[in-house]
Amino acid sequence: MLLTGRNLSKWFGPRLLFQGITLGFAPGERVGLIGANGSGKSTLLRIFAGLEQPDEGELNLRRGLRVGYVPQEERFDEGLSCIDAVAGVIDPHLDDHERHLRAGRILERAGFVDEHQQAERLSGGWKKRLSIVKQIAREPELLLLDEPTNHLDLEGIYWLEDLIDAADFATLIVSHDRRFLEEVSRRIIEIGTVYPEGFLSHVGTYSDFVEKRSEFLIAQKSREQALASTVKREIEWLRRGAKARTTKAKGRIEKAGEMIADLADLRTRNAEQQAAEIDFNATRRQTRKLIQLKSVEKSMGGRKLFDGLSLVLSPKDTLGLLGPNGSGKSTLIGLLTGRLEADRGEIVCADSLKVVVFDQHREQLDPKQTLRRALSPGGDNLVVNGQAMHVSGWARKFLFRNEQLDMPLSELSGGEQARVLLARLMQVPADVLILDEPTNDLDIPTLDVLEESLENFAGAVVLVTHDRYLLDRLSTSILSLDGRGGHRAFASLEQWERAKYEADRKEAERLRMARQEASADRASVPSVQQGSTAAKKKLTWNEQRELEKMEETIHAAESRLAELQAATADPLLSSDYVKANAAYEAAAKQQAEVDRLYARWEDLTNRS
């Protein structure tokens, strides 16, 4: 085992997060860790990373184990460049020049265009990429990732899936992204008090785990019902005046006590299966066209985001909005809400249209405000959907405890803050719901309830999310922005993925042809005589060692390329566009690596 935690327990103040958990991870494992908000997933990950100590239990690591850890949010020092951030974690035995060369190659493969850009000024998605790349540069044997898809756009998620798929290190990933878990995990662990050992582990995909969990919970509920019947009979026997006058009677009385305790434990565990109660309030207006865009054009910062954009939002429509970071999704939301005006074209809204927005940055929340006032600004009593209730009852619907009511929002977790925002949105009747990354920080049970509520919402929904499971289930249409002024409509997420696969395949083929032409051009250039060249920089000791191993390195890279190219020819890929796209991208990246190695070999040889 790489790492084993034995009988781990942790409290958060007076509240128990988890207790008696024993888990181990083997080399090369792909493990997904799930659980309700507040169950201690992130804390457990920090314990495995050695950044936090358990209150009870012990952690055993294989000698010399290299562990990488990617937190949910990482801050970089002001002025620190991307290349310096990565070079700073690379093997300190290497000289500074070699560390920066390696860092540059890693950043290039990860899609960074400007390696000298200040890390803290990156967008959320690129900052997340840098955080992941920084840990990859440490060459870990076990990589721990806490909600790695948060802030990543779909392109970023595909990149991360490819990276994990090709990696030789083990991964333990905390995530609520069900499609991502399905793609990258081959073992799922859910922690929660509903399980007698504090967790349930199953080897297989996420969908396999869901089936296994359902079977387990049904069996546990059946056991509660059977045990309740047995306990009822034993209580009746005890009420008849049973006395422990014989060994047999004494044993039965003790057994009855144990069964009563077991039943109480089962009832407590089965009662833990909760999710927030989400039900959006629609105005139910009958207008066919709630919002209509006619040939709309918009530029920001001198860059055209879209041109000639036309669409109609009607009741029961769910528009999935896709595009890389910076492609104009937030700008389009600004146009739909009336916060921004179009440069050209027309935006027509129904009279007295009510638009409600879920903001991914949660700017509507005042971190100094208490939970009580955030949920009910006018007092402790409120009216929702025509029903009067006390704020404590409203809070319970969103899984908040009474002792949390007077806590400031700044002390709540990200998932809890997201539930506060959902609770506030539910109090406002809406014609159009605009949800900007609503799945960030929400646990899977809450996501299931959110999906059901959105399916039943009578108005229109605009959904900006990287959660492919949510998009696939809810979207009636997809609008894709490319960030260069272009846009394209699709009937479904599957159609969008198919188009993306075809575009990526053509781009990979174009790059392959360009590399072949460049190689042919280099081969046609006559060699320059040794005496006519300028003075050459001699090889360093590390470069000499690199040259000695270069043939072996190239051979291994070409072998890997052959495997990947063979994989692209698999006829089964024709029915799975996502996997096909990943296969072509992986082969293209490996071809680029082979070309880079040959160029490097030529450079080292000329200078040796």
37-52 pLDDT, tens digit each = 888 999 999 999 999 9
Sheet order of strands, 170-174 included: 67-70, 142-146, 170-174, 30-34, 187-191, 199-203
Low-confidence ranges of the chain (pLDDT < 70): 237-239, 241-254, 256-257, 259, 266, 268-275, 515, 518-537, 566, 568-582, 584-585
Rounded to whole angstroms, the Cα distance separating 261 from 225 reads: 14
Rounded to whole angstroms, the Cα distance separating 467 from 447 reads: 10
Name the residue type at position 17: L
Name the residue type at position 297: E
Name the residue type at position 494: E
Strand segments (E) across 155-290: 170-174, 187-191, 199-203
Torsion of CA 512, 515, 517, 521, to 10 degrees: -170
Mean pLDDT (the chain, rounded): 85
pLDDT for the residue numbered 130 = 96
* Closest by CA position to 143, among listed 245, 220, 48, 236: 48
Contacts for 328 with CB less than 8 Å, ≥ 6 apart: 298, 300, 305, 306, 481, 483
Name the residue type at position 48: F
Q: What is the DSSP string of 411-426?
A: GS-HHHHHHHHHHHHH
Q: What is the DSSP string of 3-54?
A: EEEEEEEEEETTEEEEEEEEEEE-TT-EEEEE--TTSSHHHHHHHHTTSS--
pTM for the whole structure: 0.73
**Do 344 and 297 touch, CB atoms closer than 8 A?**
yes
pLDDT for the residue numbered 535 = 46
Q: In a 3-state reduction of DSSP, which class is residue 388? A: strand
Q: Are strands 344-349 and 67-70 parallel, antiparallel or unpaired?
A: unpaired
Rounded to whole angstroms, the Cα distance separating 336 from 457 reads: 19
pLDDT for the residue numbered 141 = 96
512-563 pLDDT, tens digit each = 777 677 666 655 655 444 444 444 567 777 777 788 888 888 878 877 877 7
Rounded to whole angstroms, the Cα distance separating 430 from 279 reads: 12
Q: In a 3-state reduction of DSSP, which class is residue 518? A: helix
Contacts for 567 with CB less than 8 Å, ≥ 6 apart: 573, 583, 586, 587
Rounded to whole angstroms, the Cα distance separating 158 from 180 reads: 9
pLDDT for the residue numbered 264 = 73
Q: In a 3-state reduction of DSSP, which class is residue 306? A: strand
Rounded to whole angstroms, the Cα distance separating 538 from 549 reads: 18
> Residues of 532-564 as b/e, b for ≥16 C-beta within 10 angstroms?
eeeeeeebeeebeebbeebeeebeebbebbeeb
Contacts for 259 with CB less than 8 Å, ≥ 6 apart: 227, 230, 231, 234
pLDDT for the residue numbered 327 = 86
In a 13 Å sphere around the CA of 37, the CA atoms on its Cβ side amount to 23
Contacts for 396 with CB less than 8 Å, ≥ 6 apart: none
**Do 140 and 65 touch, CB atoms closer than 8 A?**
no
pLDDT for the residue numbered 490 = 94
Integer CA distances (angstroms), 494 to 160, 472, 500, 585, in order: 20, 8, 10, 18
pLDDT for the residue numbered 155 = 86
CA angle, residues 409, 411, 414, in degrees to nearest 5: 75
